[in-house]
Amino acid sequence: MRLLSALRREPLDRPPVWFMRQAGRYLPEYLEVRRRHSFQEAVRTPEVAAELTLQPIRRFGLDAAILFSDIMTPLEAMGVAVDFNPGPRLSPMTLEQVAGLPEFDVERVAFVPDALSKVRAGLSDDVALIGFAGGPITLLAYLLEGGAGKEFPALRGALYRAPELAAEALAKLGLGMRAYLSTQIAAGADVVQLFDSWAGLLPIKGFDRFAVPAARTALDGLQAPTIYFAPDAAHLLDRFGAVGATGYGVDWRLPLASAWDRLGAGWVIQGNLDPMVLLSDPVTVAFETGRVLEEAGGRPGHIFNLGHGINPATPVENVEAMVRTVRGEGS
């Protein structure tokens, strides 16, 4: 599998290509399925989740499929009720309540390994299957806030107000995510990614003290390669290595060469085309994709990806232009 070779930093004729939110609203076939199923129905119905996961593979021939799910899903296995309207909604919790959550119970999310098994059966042997979870600091942000936000004052205030209890709550979430990722690997995931969407809100000392130990707990001892992705976190790049992942995603804000300088030349880096480039036209997309490839310089350990998730308004022909360019196929 090309993705696994890149994660081993083996020389390749081109980098593997996949992209975040590749199963999504920019695809007409996705919209057709979603007209019949709500988001939560799609996630919780293995046949539907598998179909949505496979759609971009059929259309683009990507090097990896990532399970159609959500970072909030495993919280259900820890007794947390989550609704989507359209983003995640839940009752705000305290640090004490998070620290006291029950252990991860895979039976409560049995639909996830079932979906993964169905996807694996539908993939060719050279296409990797990616499972994922949310980073503990990101999950804690949602749990304390009761949903999505931008500043997450409940989280950031709690880290200063009760640091020891916050560390305890994060450790609980880290152990839960490790169990969840292990379940996905057992069901057929070749690689797992930890999405730490809000770690970039933390100052360096806060990242070192809170996000790193919890993320490391989530990834420790897993029997598969791992990727850690925290957007809007250029100030933290030189700290990423402490997380203990196999590779690290970087967003579009920093050139790849600069990211390698900050992170370290020996690391695997995933990224980092600006998703908004895909709102332009095929010629511009091909040019900007080529620019990212030039920045990577053909060095081993590069995984081509967007710097964040694909925008729902993206024209399919622009995605095709991106993939063709990575493959060196021309227009």
Query: Residue 216 catalytic?
Result: no
Query: Residue 25 catalytic?
Result: yes
Q: How far is CA 135 from CA 11, 62, 170, in A?
A: 30, 25, 9
Query: Residue 262 catalytic?
Result: no
Q: At what angle do helices 163-186 and 153-161 cross, to 10 degrees?
A: 120
CA atoms within 13 A on the CB side of 114: 13
**Measured between alpha carbons, how far is 68 from 131 in angstroms, rounded to an integer?**
9
**Measured between alpha carbons, how far is 122 from 145 in angstroms, rounded to an integer?**
38
Active-site position among 9, 14, 34, 262? 34
Query: Residue 142 catalytic?
Result: yes
Active-site position among 9, 14, 25, 156? 25
**Measured between alpha carbons, how far is 330 from 75 in angstroms, rounded to an integer?**
44
Active-site position among 63, 70, 196, 251? 70
Active-site position among 2, 21, 216, 239? 21
**Measured between alpha carbons, how far is 246 from 48 in angstroms, rounded to an integer?**
30
Read off the amino acid at residue 129: L
Query: Residue 70 catalytic?
Result: yes
**Phi-psi map region of 61: left, alpha, beta (phi>0 left; psi -120 to 50 alpha):** left
**Measured between alpha carbons, how far is 213 from 157 in angstroms, rounded to an integer?**
19
- 214-217: long-range contacts, CB 8 A cutoff, minimum separation 24: 214/135, 214/136, 214/137, 214/167, 214/170, 214/171, 214/173, 214/174, 215/135, 215/136, 215/137, 215/174, 215/243, 216/174, 216/242, 216/243, 216/244, 217/136, 217/171, 217/174, 217/175, 217/178
Read off the amino acid at residue 56: P
**Measured between alpha carbons, how far is 118 from 248 in angstroms, rounded to an integer?**
28
| β 268-273/247-249 pair status | parallel
Q: Which residues are catalytic?
A: 21, 25, 34, 70, 142
